[in-house]
Structure 1
Amino acid sequence: MLKWNDVIRYASQGNPKPDRRVEKSEEEWERILSPEEFRITRQKGTERAYSSELCNLFEPGKYACICCDTLLFDSLEKFQSGTGWPSFTQPIKENAVAYHKDVSYGMYRIEANCNTCDAHLGHVFQDGPMPSGLRYCINAVSLKKVKDDSLKATFGGGCFWCTEAIFQELKGVIKVESGYSGGKVEHPTYREVTTGTTGHAEVIDVTYNPSEITFEDLLKIHLSTHNPTTPNRQGADRGSQYRSVIFYRTEEEKEIALKVISELQPSFDDMIVTEVAMFEHFYKAEDYHQNYYKSNPNGGYCQGVINPKLEKFRKLYKEKLVK
């Protein structure tokens, strides 16, 4: 989760690298955009407050850049700010938005641009709701609604090499990334996390289609494919970074997590100690941790540890596997 100090750091020290770049001449942009879209996005204009119905629309979906179609914001992060412009607490990805110092009109502000094509979106302020405290004040003209019902779930159950391999085989799961959540150190490295001093857990961040697999299904699979009764330990892996944890993004998800734990408790001889905590930030792990099992199927850890877990999982959830 980005916070104000992250925004200031990017604006002062340079922005994260975008996934791609789209560059056109001003003449090319003018040909493909409407006059108002061109004025706002390419000439740093501002639309009139309360001029768009987007301020009051909160149905599920994603918002993309009107110029280059890059996904920028999720409706889950949209809130009613009462300012007259659509407001969000976070971008959809850390590198989706670029930040620049803006001292125009005698004010000091942080301008928010599309990191792919440099389109002017609006500004970022530090008066938004917690836990981020950010308010992305965005011109509606800069955005277009994209139908996308996918959701995210983040949880840990020991080494993320194991959990990633399991969830990649499920129908309805679009993407699985390994990383770190739940700690206090920003942008931790694997070496730092393995010391157990950063507070992070090794987790997976799952993008899924809720019409094919539910959050409740994911949690039941999660809790039944690792040992949720051993504090800070999974097999030979010991330390707080290997704790069993579920991160929720909404109060509804929190209630579902507590319900699933209560329902599954009778299946275990010992008490389930899985932590249920509010999601704050997912830091993607280093590239060599991604798709680890698929990239190293004959490795010792994969053969000795991951394969037995996969075999058990495949028998338990045969009907939920990708064919």
Structure 2
Amino acid sequence: MLKWLDVIKFANNGNPVPDRRVEKTNEEWKALLTDEQFRITRLKGTERAFSSDLCSYFEPGRYACICCGTELFDADTKFESGTGWPSFTQPIKENAVAYHKDGSFGMVRIEALCNTCDAHLGHVFQDGPMPSRLRYCMNAVSLKKFDVRERKIDFGGGCFWCTEALFQRIKGVIKVENGFSGGTLVNPTYREVCSGGTGHAEIVEITYNPDEISFEDLLQIHLGTHNPTTVNQLDADRGSQYRSIIFYRTEDEKQTAMKIIDEVQKSYPDRVVTQLEMFEHFYKADDYHQNYYNNNPDEGYCRAFIDPKLGKFMEQYKDKLKQE
């Protein structure tokens, strides 16, 4: 996660290398853009505040550069800043946006540009919401929104090595990443989370295709593959970091999760203690923790705990598994 210090370092010392570069003459850009798009993106203009409906649009999707089509922001990071311009807390990738010092109008600000084609996007400020405190204040004219079928769901149910290994095998699941959420510390380390003092839970963030697997099915599988009635203890793992938890992004997701928890409760004599929290931020764990079981199948923990759990899982959910 980028913070203000990172933005300043980029502005002072040079920006990250982009995945590609697109360079055109002004005449070539004029032929591709409207007059207003050209004024904003190539001449560093600013659109009138509250002039775009994009400010209050929060549906899932991605936002790309109007000039070159580079993906810049995910709707997950968009928030209502009240400023009259679309605002985001993070770029979609660290190297998607470039930063330059802007001394115009008697102020010193950090200008945000598309790192691919140098299109002027807006400015970055340090008055955004926690945990990054960043506000990418963007001109709506410089962006184009497009829908994506991919969705994300985040939850914890014990050691993320186990949970990751299970959901990697579900059809419709595009990607599983291990990390932390639900605590107070920004960018916690694995050691800090394991101490139990950060408030974070070990979780997985699943990117999935809702045309192949539903939000409801993923929650049913989640609650069916660990014991949701134990507090801060799942199998051999003990501590608040191993609690059963579901992070929802919308009110509809919250209501759906509550309904499924009520349904699952009928199968247990003890009370289901799975927590429900509004998603705020996912902190990705170090690379060592990613794809752990597939990279370390003969490691002791994998053989003792993940192997038997995975075998039971694949038998129980054989109709949901990817085709090998």
Distance change in 2, residues 1:68/1:202 (3 Å): farther
Distance change in 2, residues 1:272/1:170 (3 Å): same
Structure 1 residue 221: deviation in Å? 0.6
What corresponds to 2:284 in structure 1? 284
8 Å contact from structure 1 (residues 72, 91) kept in 2: no
What corresponds to 1:23 in structure 2? 21
8 Å contact from structure 2 (residues 79, 89) kept in 1: no
SS at match of 1:137: strand
Q: Greater shift after overlay, 140-149 or 252-261?
A: 140-149
* Count of residue pairs brought into register by the alignment: 318
Cα distance in 1 for residues equivalent to 2:191 and 2:15: 23
Identity value in percent: 63
Q: Matches of residues 13-162 of structure 1 in structure 2 within 5 Å? A: 13-14=9-10, 20-25=18-23, 27=25, 30=28, 33-34=32-33, 36=35, 37-49=37-49, 54-55=54-55, 59-75=59-75, 78=78, 85=85, 87-91=86-90, 93=92, 95=94, 96-125=96-125, 136-162=136-162
Q: Matches of residues 255-294 of structure 1 in structure 2 within 5 Å? A: 255-294=255-294
Cα distance in 1 for residues equivalent to 2:238 and 2:269: 21
Counterpart residue identity of residue 69, structure 2: D
Cα distance in 2 for residues equivalent to 1:164 and 1:83: 40
Distance change in 2, residues 1:109/1:28 (3 Å): closer
Q: Greater shift after overlay, 251-260 or 23-32?
A: 23-32
SS at match of 1:217: helix
What corresponds to 1:217 in structure 2? 217
Q: Greater shift after overlay, 8-17 or 199-208?
A: 8-17
TM-score, normalised to structure 2, is 0.84
Distance change in 2, residues 1:118/1:186 (3 Å): farther
What do the CA deviations read for 1:173-216 (whole angstroms, capped 9, x no partner)?
Answer: 11111111111111111122111111111110111122222212
What do the CA deviations read for 1:228-259 (whole angstroms, capped 9, x no partner)?
Answer: 11111121111111111111111221111111
Distance change in 2, residues 1:28/1:163 (3 Å): farther
Structure 1 residue 274: deviation in Å? 1.2
Distance change in 2, residues 1:198/1:130 (3 Å): closer
Structure 1 residue 152: deviation in Å? 0.9
Counterpart residue identity of residue 139, structure 1: N
Counterpart residue identity of residue 147, structure 1: D
Point out where structure 2 has 5 or more consecutive residues left out of the alignment.
Answer: none
Structure 1 residue 298: deviation in Å? 2.3
Structure 1 residue 126: deviation in Å? 6.4
8 Å contact from structure 2 (residues 131, 186) kept in 1: no
Structure 1 residue 43: deviation in Å? 3.9
Structure 1 residue 52: deviation in Å? 5.1
